[in-house]
Amino acid sequence: MSGRLAVDFGTCNTVVALWDAELESGHTPPLGALALTGSWQGREFHQVPSLIHYEGERVRVGRQVLAPADLRAHPATFCWMKHYLGQGMRLPRALAGRRVDYFQAGADFLRQVLAAAGGLVDISSEEVAFTVPVEAFEHYQDWLDEVVRSAGVARPLFLDEPSAAALGYGGGIRPGEAFMVFDFGGGTADATVVRVEPDAARLRCRVLGKAGAQVGGATIDGWIVRHALALGGRAQGRGAGNQLLWEAERVKMALSEGETEEFHLDDPASGEELRLPFTRTALDDLLEENGLFSKLNSVLELAESQATEHGYRRGDLRACLMIGGSSFIPSVRRLLRTRYGEIVRFDRPFDAVALGAAAYASGAGFDDRIRHEYALRPYDRSRGDYVLRTIVPAGTPYPCSISRPDRPEEPLVLTIKASHPDQTRLGLQVYEVARPEAASCGGGGFELVFTENGSARYSPREDVEDFRSRPIGSTTFIHADPPAARGEPRFEARFSIDREKRLCVTVRDLLSGKTLMRDAPLVKLR
């Protein structure tokens, strides 16, 4: 049976979707006691609040954390797990004789969601699609892959969130048209320019440009908390824990509908109350001070510039599709309307990503591009150090053979030399590189984090480097028989990307003339 189930793990809410290929439509099932029911423009949808609460060996998940008692502010409750996972921040807490961090909490949460979804389809035999942020590093997808497989998913598929949203909205776009997907959720802001390819059999999309930034609703909530505490003459909220951010989120949501709202906090440690008036104008000023609108414009500009290389300018876009809860902020919607005018659509802000991923699992496809830059790290004798050498530039379409950057008509051929006498193993390690567009913004160099007992504090962040790189996958070794002499050009390597988005290598032994590897997969790319 082909796949038709998808899970969109979100910072604030998680959506599970099922797709009916015959009807070419999908829905979000209620998932028993885990999900909340909502509606938007006459359509009902269900979503699981991304919350988990630990009670000894038992856990409460999603709606169970909110009722019958609201446990969001409890020190044993974890929220915004995806945000901290994306940042690689574990932040363990001591709970009832054991330590639980955000990686463990996220894994426990997803296993509970998949256990409920397992009653809808056979996750042990069907392909199940999972969405990932466009700026997620390899460690996030590796973590997600390990968690869902441990939960019984034998055939996981991974799809970036903007492309999934494009598929979810695709029914309203005509073939040959290009459009923008703007996804502003709890943890990230992503922009993708997509074109629907003419295909009578099924929806096929091609991604023309992508960009993203690690800023979202949780970031804004942190700015509100910091502003409120500063106005109240407090450096941090002692004993208030997650209640600070929940109150900030409530105020933010209220200001999406009204003009004024009061920030209210009862401090159990001191018995004092904090009551501060907050206006929509004050929120807009706060967003401006922290560089939100500048960052969002930069993300949109970068995605547009990539699309321009394919012949599509801003005026060629037929729609701008807004998704994600943070898109409700009026000044954010105003920014998009100012930039794109009447083509802005706000039809499916909550479930487009999950529905599109479910359609993808059922067979809908698109021509994607590699988002990140990938490099090898050879030793440079002239510098006396290791250097990064790009072999897959960002934006590379696939499947393809890797060409020389200076001569695209010629294949990239690397000569591999031994660095030690009588070397028998020569390693190939692939590195994933991210450029400054992925940097966080605002916050004055601080990150709102929680101590082990759940209280909030601010931790300084180091400045963002010009680029970040990290090894992905394991080192692939080429075996030299007989051993290679130091400095001897011993092997010749060529690279390609297959249909499954894997970087593959073909290796020939220059001494024997034999091909030792042919299209051997090295790592999965994004």
What are 73-106's pLDDT values in tens digits? 899 999 989 989 988 889 999 998 789 999 999 9
506 by Cβ neighbours in 10 Å (0-12 / 13-18 / 19+) ranks as middle
Separation of alpha carbons 249 and 127, rounded Å: 35
For 361, phi then psi, to 5°, come to -65, -30
Average pLDDT over residues 171-184: 81
**CA-CA distances (angstroms) from residue 524 to 7, 86, 264, 470, 517?**
20, 18, 47, 14, 17
DSSP 364-421: -EEE-B--SEEEE--EETTTTEE--EEEE-TT-BSSEE-B-SS-TTSB-EEEEEBSST
Contact 489, 510 (CB under 8 A): yes
User: Is-same-fold flag (5-215+292-367; 373-436+467-524)?
Assistant: no
DSSP 8-state class, residue 298: H
| Residue 460 reports pLDDT greater than 90 | no
Q: How confident is the model at residue 492 (pLDDT cuts 50, 70, 90)?
A: very high
Q: Which range has highest mean pLDDT (362-366, 455-459, 501-505)?
A: 501-505
| Residue 283 reports pLDDT greater than 70 | yes
Q: β-pairing, 155-160 with 127-132?
A: parallel
Place of tokens 């096929």: 204
Task: Write down the pLDDT at residue 235.
Answer: 52
Better-scored residue on pLDDT, 23 or 264: 264
> What's the CATH fold of domain 5-215+292-367?
Nucleotidyltransferase; domain 5 (3.30.420)
Better-scored residue on pLDDT, 244 or 306: 306
Better-scored residue on pLDDT, 13 or 365: 13
Average pLDDT over residues 295-303: 95
List the domain boundaries for the chain. Answer: 5-215+292-367, 373-436+467-524
**CA-CA distances (angstroms) from residue 296 to 63, 182, 213, 217, 293?**
32, 10, 8, 13, 5
Contact 78, 49 (CB under 8 A): no
Contact 418, 480 (CB under 8 A): yes
Mean pLDDT across the chain: 84
Q: What is the pLDDT of residues 321-337, one digit of tens each?
A: 999 889 889 999 999 99
Task: Write down the pLDDT at residue 466.
Answer: 43
Q: What is the pLDDT of residues 400-441, one digit of tens each?
A: 999 988 888 899 998 888 888 999 998 889 998 865 443 333
| Residue 285 reports pLDDT greater than 90 | yes
Place of tokens 């051993």: 483
Task: Write down the pLDDT at residue 204.
Answer: 60
Separation of alpha carbons 29 and 37, rounded Å: 10
Q: Nearest-CA neighbor of 492 among 461, 513, 471, 473?
A: 513
Q: What CATH class does 373-436+467-524 carry?
A: mainly beta
Task: Write down the pLDDT at residue 46.
Answer: 95
**Lowest-pLDDT choice from 153-157, 216-220, 435-439:** 435-439
Separation of alpha carbons 348 and 168, rounded Å: 8
Take residue 51 and report the two structure tokens written for it. Answer: 């919350």
**Lowest-pLDDT choice from 118-132, 354-368, 417-431:** 354-368
